[in-house]
Each structure stands twice: as structure tokens, then as C-alpha cells.
């Protein structure tokens, strides 16, 4: 039992160390945001951490970077994540909405064209 508790504590500490660059980056971005409620700040901080965590893991899987560089990437993504995510979602939505008409025009062109 004592060994299992030690493993759980070790895993939690590892998770906290892995999330700290993202959390710090998101916290830095909150310093410059004025007029937010505590709920909005908490949501912005959580979104910054989550986006940064997944984006830095994806970049780490694609490129062979040192852990220090990955932490810097995670910190940067944490700072810009909340501002970038709505624009990214809007752009993806525009692409998905226009996809059927683009495919139809590509594979079934009108005869007069």
C-alpha cells in the first residue's frame, strides 16, 4: 500500500512538472487581460493549459526537440492559446462549410464551364 501511494504521488508530481510551463504561460497572458471575471480567467487559464499541453506533445512527436525547447513551446502556446483558439475554430468551420460545394465543383463541373 505504501509503495502504491508513493507511485501515485510520483505520477502527480510528474504531471504537475509537465503542466507547469503551460500553466505559467497561460498565467502570464492573464496579466495583460483587463476586465475579466474570475470565472473567465479560470476558463482562459484552463484552455491555455489544455491547448498548450496537446500542441506541445504533437510538436514533440513530429520534431526531435530538446525538452527545454518543448517547454518553451509549451509556455508560448499557453500564452497565445485562448486568443488563437476561437480564430482557429472559425477558420476550420469556414473550410468545413465550404467543402461540399468545393468537392461538387471539382468532381462535377457544370457543363457551361
Segment among 6-15, 49-58, 78-87 with least mean pLDDT: 78-87
Per the prediction, the chain carries an average pLDDT of 82
Q: Which ranges of 1-113 does DSSP label H, i.e. alpha helix?
A: 2-31, 38-62, 67-107
Is the pLDDT at 87 greater than 80? The verdict is no
For the record, the C-alpha cell of 16 comes out as 504537475
**Domain assignments of the chain as residue spans, ordered by start:** 2-82
- What is the tens place of the pLDDT at every residue in 22-61? 888 888 877 877 888 888 888 888 888 888 888 888 888 8
The pLDDT assigned to 68 comes to 86
Nearest partner of 54 among 77, 26, 25, 29, judged by Cα:
77
Please state at what angle helix 67-107 crosses helix 2-31, rounded to 10 degrees: 70
Is the pLDDT at 81 greater than 80? The verdict is no
The percentage of the chain sitting over the pLDDT mark of 90, rounded to a whole number, equals 0
Is the pLDDT at 112 greater than 70? The verdict is no
Spatial contact of 29 and 79, defined as CB atoms under 8 Å apart: yes
pTM above 0.85, yes or no: no
Is the pLDDT at 85 greater than 70? The verdict is no
Amino acid at each position: 500500500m505504501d509503495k502504491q501511494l508513493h507511485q501515485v504521488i510520483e505520477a502527480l508530481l510528474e504531471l504537475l512538472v509537465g503542466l507547469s510551463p503551460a500553466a505559467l504561460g497561460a498565467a502570464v497572458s492573464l496579466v495583460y487581460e483587463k476586465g475579466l471575471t474570475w470565472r473567465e480567467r479560470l476558463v482562459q487559464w484552463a484552455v491555455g493549459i489544455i491547448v498548450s499541453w496537446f500542441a506541445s506533445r504533437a510538436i514533440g512527436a513530429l520534431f526531435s526537440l530538446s525538452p527545454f525547447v518543448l517547454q518553451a513551446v509549451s509556455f508560448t502556446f499557453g500564452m497565445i492559446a485562448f486568443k488563437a483558439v476561437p480564430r482557429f475554430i472559425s477558420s476550420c468551420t469556414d473550410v468545413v462549410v465550404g467543402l461540399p460545394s468545393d468537392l461538387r465543383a471539382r468532381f462535377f463541373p457544370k457543363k457551361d464551364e
